[in-house]
Structure 1
Amino acid sequence: LAAILRNIKSDLNSHEQSALLEVFHSFYECGTSTTFFRHSGELVALSFLSATTSPLHPLMPTRLRRRRAFGTAILLVALLLWALAPQVAAAQPLQVTPGEVDFGILKSSTGASRDLVIRNPGTDRLEVRLQIDGDAFRIDSDTLRFAAGAEMRVQIHFSAIDIGAYRGELSLQIKELFGSKKITVPLNAVVDQAEISIKPVAGIDAGEARVGSSVERTVQLSNTGRVEFVIDSLAVVPANIGMSLRDASARRLQPNSSLDLVVGFSPVADGAVRGRLAIYSADLPEGLIDIPIAGEGLAPRLAVSPLAEVGLDFMTMEVGHRERRSLSLLNQGRADLDVDLRIDHEAFTAGVDSVLVIEAGERRDVDILFEPRYEGPASGLVVLRTNDPSRQRIELALTGRARVTPPKVEVLNRTPIIFGGVPIGNPAQEQLLLWNRGGSPYTVRLELEDEMGAEFALETAAVLLQPGESGKVGLTFQPKEIGDREAVLWVETESGRSRIELHGTGKFLKLSPSAHDFGRVPVGEASSGLIDLVNIGNADFTISRVRSTSDDFIPYTQISPDSKFLLPANSLRSLPINVTYEPASRGLSSGTLRLEGFWEEGTETLEILLNGIGVAAEIELYPAGTVDFGFVILGDSTMRTLVATNSGDTSLQVEANALTREALVEPQSFSLEPGESTTLKVFFSPQAFGERFGQILLVSNDVRDKAQPIKIKGQGVLENIDLAQITSVTVSRKDVALPIQVPWNNTPMVLRDGTRIDLRFLLPDSLRQALVGRRIDIEWTELDENYDPKGGGKQTTLQIYEDAGGSLLAEDLNLRLKEAGTKRVRMRLTTHSYPGAPPQSVSQIFEAGGWRWDFEAKPLVSFLTIRPGRDWTDSDGNVVRGETERLIGLPGLAFVGWHNSEHPAVSGIHLTATGNVLEALSTGNSIAISLGLAVSMYKDRFLLGFGWDIYDSRTKAKRKGSQDYIMTFKYSGLF
């Protein structure tokens, strides 16, 4: 109870505190009562005092009793407030965020920290004790004090070495009046390590690579673990094997990712190398991963002969001469050998390019030339730069000495120089060979003596020979005569003039005869000729083949490559050859008889000219081409003339043969001597309509064209006809059709209303040939009252065929005249004798109308009606004078009439009725009706009539005072 007072003492004023002290000092006078309530889930019993007047002190002053009663009430209220306040705070004494601390997945020996936010949402100060359950978890402080509404961050640290899952608990204990409240926060963490896989598993094999080249290989590292893998460093061990890492920097490999490491292999020597790629990382249990790496270097190896220590010695030689030595290069390695060859002295040169490539196991011989230009010793170096790792530079010494000696020219030919047998007119070549064996240059002079007439020729008269150099001088022999021929060649050298004889023999081939003429031979016939061939030359000729260059000349001989014939020189024997001439066309024929064979000088082809003239008859027509007869009326015949000429060499026999019945030529057979002409008459009579074609063959002995065609072209046309003569017009109103005579002069022809017009075309035998195949165009156009076209016309076509009878009806005309419709039409008939010919046409105007009986109900209005008056006697015997009636506007009706509504004068007579309607309106329905006849004029517009009364209901006085008939002048145009 004292603790309670201490807690609530600060919230009471001094008056209340003194009242409470008096209450506590009077415990012995107070009764107790107990109240039970729940606090933080526990049942709490609270006993408090009730201030009552003690029976031991009946005389307690009233003031004191009041103060005790007041203190007791205050104490009761304070205890109730204290009992209720912890219950509200117990619902949420602290707010902790997050409710669970998860450190995730961490690497071994890697520490981590997480923040825990704690807030005091109440109004009291709190003291919280912190305690962690878990060896791997720790906190910096175990006690926290919170002011009301304060917030603090607590760091929780985690660190573990072993792999596995770690769980812990952070307890927050809050002191309270009756005990303490505890809040727990779960702690979770997982320790794992990276798992590294390598592809390829066997490591890196760079294979074979040539020294000086570089290859790259890739190895892939994959992190299949759940934590990051950190590469501290990478290295190739050992470092001198030619392997290198393209990027050796530190790397980080995230979980479920891969990394490609590129290793380059640049071999430095021949042979296989092995090593390892070391990957250092603190995340590995052993601290590193070794990946095997291997490769094989291929290097060339150069061997030189002679040895570099020996060098090349060219000894002593003449200035201007050239000496050659061979330098052998052998590649004993396993890769291509690159050699860069350089010589540092101008007297020494290499016979190859400066850059050489020698394959493995191959050998290359290099010619080193020594060509001194000055007298004395010479030395130089051959420098070889190679890609052989062991011998990248080699030097060989070059030595030589040069001297100058006098010239010494020698003739290398044997004397005499013999050209042998040469055909006359053909050149033969030989050469004079000279050699300067001395050490100085010399000019050799040449002179030719030819007494035979310049049959020998010299290429040049002087030759300059350098030391050690040889020269050639061309000699030509071209004989002009047969037999042995001679000349002398003088050669002047340093030792004097020397004489060289030149010998040759002139030979030739010549056959006789050189030509053969067969004369005139008819085309198509053959003529044979015998050629007796002899060799009049001085050399034998062996014939191996005889052939003709023209198909008109055919040789017959048994000579073939397997059966040769020797034709000796000087006409010692002849060769008979039979040749047949068969001209294929007229005119001169030429060819050659070729004799192929050989003689002493080789193969030869000789020719004999063959001539002949082919003669034949030849027909020519003028004018040439197709004979065009143009338009010809069917049944008629027309003629054209042609001129036939024999332009050949023999008599021409001709017979005409017509291939069509429509064409004929006269005369049908004739003959012409060479150069003669005749006139041919060609007749054409078409038997059908349209374009016609035909041919007449002139069969003759013309070898080029044995059947000369005359092409016929024409067009059969129809004869002009009179359409009015063959056209029959019939009219009908009901069933009976009657023919009418039509003048076809465009004068309007009046027909009765409702008349149907039909056309029929007559095909008499006399005109049938002119009508069959003809097309007739029928057109009718509606006209207005001024006979001008109204609207478009209607057309139909009639085609007349061979199978038509004696007449042909135009079926699709469908023309009927109607006064209320198609009243006036113009009909036109058109035809053509042939396509494109001028048209033939007739036309006629038909009109509905004329005199006719007509049952009509035509209303009439009278201009003037006259009913004469008459005197009559009344019942008293008095004479009453009659009065003539003149009425205007009486109505009437025309019933039946014989009339022509288009006639401009008297246009008909009509039965009419007239009624006195006006009088009926004014006299009490009295009316008079008259029946009579009326004559109409000017297209039935005006009528003059006379009528008798048939009904009269007028008054008696009216009836007796006027006549029983009327005279009327009526008008019908208003209706």
Structure 2
Amino acid sequence: MRRAGALFASLALCFFVACERAPGPEVAPARVAVTNIAGVNFVGTPPVARLPAALRPVAEDSRPLAVASQALAASGTALTLTPATGTLLSDDVWYWVVKGYRVRFTRATTLLALDVRLSLAAGACVRAIVYDVATQAEVANGSTVCGGSGDTYYRSDVSFSAEANHEYVLAFYVPKRNTFFPRQEDPSFPYTVNGLVEVLESRSNSLDTNDPSFPDASNSWAPHMRVYIDEGATVSPSSVAFGNQRVGVTSTTRAVTLSNGGAASLSVTALNVTGPFSTSGLDLPATVAPGSSTTFQVAFSPTATGAATGQVVVVSDASNGNQVVSLSGTGVQPGMSVSPSSVDFGNVRVGTASAARSVTVSNTGSDTLTLSGASASGPFSISGLSLPATVAPGASLSFDVTFASTATGAASGSLSLTSDAPGSPFSLTLSGKGVASFIAANPNPLSFGAISLGQSDVATLTLSNTGDAPLTLSALGFTGEQAEDFSLEGAPTLPLAVAPGGSQELRVRFTPGNHGARRTTLEVTSDASGAGTLRVPVDGEGIGPRLAVTPASLDLGSTNVGHTSASRSVTVSNTGETDLVLSAVSFSGAAAADFATPASMPMTLVPGTSASIAFSFTPSEVGARAARATFVTNDTLAAGAEVALAGVGTSPLLELSAASFDFGDVRVGTSSAGQTLTVKNTGTGPLTLASASLAGTGASRFSLAPDTFPLSIPAGGSSSFTVTFHPDRVGTASAELTLLSDDAARPNVVIPLTGTGISSSLSLSATALDFGAQPVGRTSSPRGLSVKNAGSGSLTVSSVKVEGSGAAAFSLVGVPALPLVLAPGQTASFQVTMTVEEAGVREATVLIESDDLESPRAQVSVRGTGVSQALSASPAEVAFGTFRLPAASGPRSVVITNLTAETLELAEPEVTGTHASHFQVSGVAGPLGPGASVTASVVYTTAAAADSSATLRISTRDGKVPALTVALSGRAVSKLVKTDPTSLDFGQVTEGETGAVQSVTVTNLSTEPVTVSEVRSDGEAFIVEASGLSTLAPGASGTFTVTFAPKSAGAANALVRVTLRNATEPEAVVAVSGIGRARDVDGGESGCGCGQGAGGSPWPAGLMLALCLGWLGLARRRGV
């Protein structure tokens, strides 16, 4: 204890040294943060010198002497906050501390007082305080209670209304004098007192000490404290249950006690009753003294059976408001209940009765129930009930109700029961639904469309139950004259039930038996409401090919043996609905080998079309020949059809009038005189010339007329033909005329044909002339063109002219007089020139007309482009960039190109403009061929700063070509970079401190990259940071920063110099300035370091406090 006392005395000394208040004006109360460096727990409240006045302990020289307890305004109800757990100890001492509990009230509560068990030193005083935990503010102060009476409870009045479910700290402020008290060591938290106060933890706001080892002052112990509350008014009992009471009879009364637990008299002004209840025995208004009580009576008068509730509201001026007594009771008498309260029969098929449903009548009362009447409305009936009927209390009886469905849809009715129970008659709701099955087919009708004969198809027909009762299918079948074409595949087993809303699929197969529409009806027999049989029309169409052949017989006439007759045809038609495929034609009969058809098989005929099938006769013997031709097709109803064939075998003999023909010389493009060929039949039968053909290299230059074959020549008859030579080129032509006949001895007769074609031929030296690009307004140089007779005869040129949309741009020069006759091998020449007046493409054709049969209109395409710009420059402008004075660039090249197809004579170049003298040009004048280029050299020089510009002009000597201009520019400057800003003012900065950082932007004004090699300040107070400033691209910018850090007071000025690589002088200079402000050595008013005032000590109070607390820790370790 001595050791603890010494430490606390030292601590108090430290506080007074560190925060001794100097003379001066009173400062406002303030919250001061104190750092704990003493090795013990120091929680929450600041040193006393800075505490708000309400929290300071009573000063020693002004404490009132008083007894251990004071008179209170009201006693109230005392609730002990001291925990029941923990070890009771009594040698604790408090030093200058706030101690109490953190609590929460379960309802709004009025606090009247707090007391605490203490042993106060003589003259020491304590005071109760209330903190709001959420706001960390003191919300109430208690009265001061002073000691000297030993170990006892000290009570301090507190008038405060606590909110429900809000946290507060209820505590006592204890002076710094030695104060002994009992306590609970290591209590358990939380716990609840009287269902009203939740005690969450013990709280301390300063140092707690009692352990000789001086541990940290945790909240592991609790004081003995009580809180006095105003409970206001209470009622007992708070609820009254009267139990069972006959309806219409008042119960015996029950007493209710009203108590005043408050500090003032209670004024009762009304007893408000709800429900079948009443009060008596208390005259109003009534007054109840503090701590006293009064009684009144409550009675129950039920007016109906069953539970009844109500309440008596005691209206008073109690601090806790009006009090409520809950009232309950049960009115009893005979009663009737019916179960179920409604009967739903569900679905019942129309025309049938439902199963009986039981209804139970129960006596829920205490008297015998007499049931005197029962009736049912609608399609409902009652059975099993004899009236009148009696039911003992708690007993029941049952009877049946039945639903007879007569129509589909919902049906409703009621069951009315008459009895002597309250609420009679009782009505019971009856309901049901008449249901029926209905059948529907989808699709209806069922149509298969067109199906090929010999094929079949399956379609699905869905039978649906659209009703709300099960559907039974009893029979399925097809009726009608084409019923055999339809069948059910995988028909279901009958009878078959289909649930409401369900369906059954039928697979119907259609196999058409003939062409055209096929119809039937599917009959479905079921128990569906309405018609007993559903009839679904089913139809389809049989389609396929149908073969027809006309005529049915064919006579091929007479034909020489070994030869084939002229063909005769039959017509094969498809009168069906799908393609007819003829796959083959077969022959039968004694002379089957003498007949044939050239028709290619298979052959397809679409519906409605026909084809001719040719037959030929090649008799193998003289005389009549016969056979039958059969068509093999895909017509399933008529797989084959026959045609009768007949013919007669004969024997002809061919004789010619000439064995060969020679036509001699014939001019190309003309025809020779015709030569006659006579063919005579000297045989006994007709001679048929099947064909006459020309073959050989010159076959196209000969013709035969007439050329209609086959040609029949009767026995002893003849036929004549004309052969002609038509040369289309120069030279000898030969061919062979071949006659094919049915002469078995000479079936092929070959007649040689010869002739010679003669002609002239025109040849050109060129087929196209391209003048290329031509300057507008100039005539091009002439382009030559030659015409030669390359033929074997003379050539006559009748016309030479220019045609086409661009003909006006072209002219002919030196054309010989026309007509012009050129002997074989002779040549004539002339020229073409081009003149354009506007830019653009010009195209035309030089047309040469002659008697050249192969090329009577020879053409030479001529083309050229008029251009307004004959010259081009690369580059189109020359920008020399920026140079430091004196400016002298290296030579820059400009390539001048001739864009035309003509040679241009360039004049001397010319430089014009304000700064023409700044630019010098060389190397341009002279001839420049088509498409050729020449390079001009340009140099930029000037001795004065300028933004120079001029124009280089290139022209031709004849002045007929638009001049070419090239823009020239350059810049001469004294500096290559600039800074922004050019000066910085840092204002006042305290010596030894650093001012704000300011930035400077450096911009490259030249057209070449520049490298900043150094940014330096010539004043040590100005610090430059330029690490990020290095190479700047043309036009780019970078930044560096300058900071002012004065080391002494007074004005400071300097220059920041920006130097480029390889430069001896700075490229830019930034002026910087600032003022160093002297540091204030005097810290202000001396006094406690915890506040500021004139003349205060330069030693901070925190430092002094830290030193003192450090000393305390050292003293503790040394056992002071």
TM-score, normalised via structure 1 length: 0.42
Return the index of the structure with the highest Cα Rg. Answer: 1
Asked which structure has the greater RCO (Cα within 8 Å, sep 6+), the reply is 2
TM-score w.r.t. length of structure 2: 0.37
